[in-house]
């Protein structure tokens, strides 16, 4: 794969520009990943005797896709929400009015991200899926904060902090049941309340630590949140 994209004349580079951007390599990355994992998976199955024919392969694929059921359902309803939100223009209305309110309250400085991160952390308690939560919050808060001068990359970095720090204490997280099951192996009387109470101090420390790092990284040192990503946006 490296020989097809690293050389300037690599066969999977863009035919016209010679760049990786827009190349067959990037357009076909899903197929490449599928083949990369499917072949070793099938070989392993044959060696250990769990895959003797094509039916065994289909059963294994069906079992893997079965775990995606909850995610697909969440994405379906999130897509309906986003579509109706766009159709009603509520996102634009809330963004413009929200930006005007922030300007009226003089909350256009970096301190606005403390409230944004806190809001995302609270929303995460009831909506555990990161993609579903982003689908709900992004249409409102990305344009709102862009209107007061912050780039989408900075906004999403702040969102990821709020989305992550309360994963430890919300039963809505998809892996919460797994964590509880593992904890019960070592503490038989462990329940949801005990687990949440145990992890709450960690969640609070993570919140303070990540917010401090975010402000130090972005607003004190002026470093980008990604390669070539701007911090500010000129409306």
Residue 13: inside a domain: yes
Same domain, 120 and 6: no
Residue 220: inside a domain: yes
CB 183 within 8 A of CB 190: yes
What pLDDT digit, counting tens, does each position of 59-71 carry? 888 887 776 776 6
Same domain, 34 and 150: no
DSSP 8-state secondary structure symbol assigned to residue 222: -
pLDDT at 128 over 70: no
Distance CA 1, CA 145 (A): 40
Three-state secondary structure string covering 59-118: HHHHHHHHCCHHHHHHHHHHHHHHHHHHHHCHHHHHHHHHHHHHHHCCCCCCCHHHHHHH
Same domain, 54 and 86: no
Tell me how far the alpha carbon of residue 191 is from its chain's centroid: 28
Q: Which residue, of 26, 41, 66, is where some domain finishes? A: 66
Q: What sign does the CA torsion over 235, 162, 30, 72 have?
A: negative
Q: How many CB atoms lie within 10 A of CB 134?
A: 19
Q: Which residue, of 66, 92, 121, is where some domain finishes? A: 66
Q: Which residue, of 9, 41, 66, is where some domain finishes? A: 66
Same domain, 43 and 95: no
Residue 122: inside a domain: yes
What pLDDT digit, counting tens, does each position of 183-196 carry? 888 888 888 888 88
The pLDDT, as a whole number, for residue 95 is 73
- Measure Cα distances from 40 to 48, 55, 65 in Å: 12, 17, 18
pLDDT at 78 over 80: no
Same domain, 58 and 104: no
Residue 71: inside a domain: no
Can you give the residue range of the structural domain that contains 164? 76-235
Same domain, 49 and 96: no
Same domain, 138 and 25: no
Q: State the total domains in the chain.
A: 2
Tell me how far the alpha carbon of residue 204 is from its chain's centroid: 21
CB 219 within 8 A of CB 110: yes
Same domain, 96 and 179: yes
Same domain, 85 and 147: yes
Q: How confident is the model at residue 208 (pLDDT cuts 50, 70, 90)?
A: very high
What pLDDT digit, counting tens, does each position of 82-111 carry? 788 778 887 778 777 888 888 888 878 888
The residue behind tokens 């998809």 is: 174
Q: How confident is the model at residue 212 (pLDDT cuts 50, 70, 90)?
A: very high
Same domain, 101 and 191: yes
């Amino acid at each position: 794969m490296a020989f097809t994209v690293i050389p300037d004349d690599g066969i999977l580079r863009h035919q016209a520009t010679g760049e990786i951007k827009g190349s067959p390599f990037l357009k076909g990355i899903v197929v490449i990943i599928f083949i990369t994992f499917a072949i070793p998976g099938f070989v392993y199955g044959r060696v250990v005797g769990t895959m003797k024919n094509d039916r065994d392969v289909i059963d294994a694929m069906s079992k893997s896709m079965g775990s995606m059921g909850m995610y697909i359902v969440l994405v379906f309803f999130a897509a309906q929400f986003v579509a109706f939100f766009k159709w009603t223009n509520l996102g634009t209305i809330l963004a413009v009015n929200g930006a005007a309110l922030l300007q009226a309250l003089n909350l256009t400085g970096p301190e606005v991200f403390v409230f944004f991160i806190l809001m995302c952390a609270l929303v995460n308690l009831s909506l555990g899926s990161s993609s579903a939560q982003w689908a709900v919050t992004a249409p409102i808060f990305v344009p709102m904060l862009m209107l007061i001068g912050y780039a989408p990359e900075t906004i999403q970095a702040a969102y990821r902090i709020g989305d992550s720090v309360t994963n430890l204490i919300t039963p809505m997280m998809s892996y919460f049941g797994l964590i509880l099951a593992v904890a019960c192996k070592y503490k038989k009387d462990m329940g949801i309340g005990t687990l949440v109470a145990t992890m709450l101090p960690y969640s609070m420390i993570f919140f303070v630590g990540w917010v401090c790092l975010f402000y130090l990284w972005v607003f004190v040192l002026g470093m980008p949140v990604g390669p070539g990503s701007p911090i500010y946006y000129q409306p």
